[in-house]
Each structure stands twice: as structure tokens, then as C-alpha cells.
């Protein structure tokens, strides 16, 4: 009995029909780019908010921040927050309703993950068939979904600490929630670096997210 080789070593012939097939529907592309915009605004404005009262022995260079001053950064941060939450809910609801979430992000097999991760670290991740995510992508997407949820929960504590006392205590207090929020932000930043690295390895994935095919 033979088994299917890991994704990193699969060679899938691409036909003319494959090149015109819709890989990413319009709603996925829309939520993806709106999410990218929201995350960019929240990261850069969040760094300016952090600089107003740093919790670690460093500050973020102002050239990387958005808002100019604390009040301006807060306005940008809250505006992007609503975009992130509403856009994220649309993505989750439609993904679950269409079955795409489970179809594209599951299963994740350890053997496949090990092979794909090794290939990615060596810069040899083939990923010829971009209609399907490799194991590294699946794990990264599940991570960022969970990390974003942690960002939202800890952000609620920082925004409305008095109104959410149970969440505040669950986070270990206000100061602890600030650290958790910062660590979760760092997790998103790490995901972006991995995401961009995979795009560099397989540039066709960017074209597919723009054109859908």
C-alpha cells in the first residue's frame, strides 16, 4: 500500500483549465485585503500608543508609528478595530457557511507539517498546486485566527476595563492584559513575516489573491 508523499515534494501537472479556475472567491479576496489594511493601521497606531506609556525598556521608532500623538493614534486604532472585527466576522461566517474553513485548513498531519516546514526553511517549498494550502500555511492560519481572538479579548480589557471585570481578572489584571496584548501583537507580526516569506517562495499565491485565479 502506497501513501501520498508530503506536499513539499508533490508535482502536480497544471492544465489550461486549472489556470482559469477560481481559487479565491471575491469575498475571500475582499476580506483578505481589508484585513491587511486593518492590521497595518492597528499595528502602527498601536506602536504609537505603546510609546506613550511603554511597558518594556524600549520604544518604537516614531517613523514606524501612525497617529502623530496619543489621541490621534487612539482614533486610528479604534477605527481600524471596528474594521478588523466586522471584517473578521464576515470571513468566519462565510467560511464556515461555505465549508471552506474546514476544507482548506484541515487536516494538519504531523508528517506533512514536518516535511513542508523543512522544505520551507531550505527555500525548497514547491507548492505547485496553489488551490490547496500546505501544512505550514494551515498551521499559520489557525495560529493567527486564535492570536487575533486573544488580541480582541485583551484589547477589550484595555479599552473597557471597568465594563469587563471578569475578563480583566482572567487576564491577571490591567497591566498583565497590556503585556498579553503586546505579545499577541508580536505574534501577528511574526505571522506576517512568515506569510510574506511564503509569498516570496511561491509568488503565484500573491497573483491568485489579487486575480482570484
Going from N- to C-terminal start, the domains of the chain cover 22-52+60-105, 110-213
First to last CA, the chain: 35
List the beta strands (DSSP E) in the chain.
none
* Residues contacting residue 98 through CB under 8 Å, at least 6 positions apart: none
Q: What's the CA gap between 173 and 158, in Å, rounded? A: 10
Q: What's the CA gap between 114 and 18, in Å, rounded? A: 28
The predicted-structure confidence for 92-137, as pLDDT tens digits, reads as follows 999 999 998 888 888 888 998 898 888 877 766 666 667 778 888 8
Three-state DSSP class for residue 191:
helix
The predicted-structure confidence for 3-47, as pLDDT tens digits, reads as follows 444 444 444 455 545 556 777 888 989 999 999 999 999 999 999
The predicted-structure confidence for 55-82, as pLDDT tens digits, reads as follows 999 999 999 999 989 999 999 999 999 9
Amino acid at each position: 500500500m502506497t501513501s501520498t508523499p508530503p506536499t513539499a515534494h508533490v508535482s502536480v501537472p497544471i492544465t489550461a483549465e486549472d489556470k482559469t479556475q477560481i481559487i479565491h472567491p471575491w469575498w475571500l479576496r475582499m476580506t483578505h485585503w481589508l484585513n491587511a489594511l486593518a492590521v497595518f493601521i492597528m499595528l502602527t497606531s498601536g506602536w504609537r500608543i505603546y510609546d506613550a506609556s511603554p511597558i518594556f525598556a524600549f520604544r518604537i521608532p516614531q517613523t514606524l508609528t501612525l497617529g502623530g500623538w496619543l489621541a490621534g493614534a487612539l482614533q486610528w486604532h479604534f477605527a481600524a478595530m471596528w474594521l478588523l472585527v466586522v471584517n473578521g466576522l464576515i470571513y468566519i461566517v462565510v467560511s464556515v457557511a461555505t465549508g471552506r474553513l474546514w476544507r482548506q485548513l484541515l487536516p494538519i498531519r504531523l508528517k506533512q507539517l514536518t516535511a513542508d516546514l523543512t522544505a520551507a526553511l531550505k527555500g525548497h517549498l514547491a507548492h505547485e498546486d496553489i488551490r490547496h494550502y500546505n501544512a505550514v500555511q494551515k498551521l499559520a492560519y489557525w495560529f493567527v485566527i486564535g492570536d487575533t481572538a486573544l488580541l480582541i479579548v485583551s484589547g477589550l480589557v484595555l479599552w473597557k476595563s471597568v465594563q469587563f471585570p471578569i475578563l480583566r481578572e482572567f487576564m491577571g489584571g490591567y497591566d498583565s492584559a497590556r503585556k498579553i496584548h503586546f505579545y499577541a501583537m508580536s505574534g501577528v507580526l511574526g505571522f506576517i513575516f512568515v506569510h510574506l516569506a511564503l509569498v516570496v517562495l511561491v509568488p503565484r499565491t500573491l497573483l491568485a489573491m489579487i486575480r482570484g485565479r
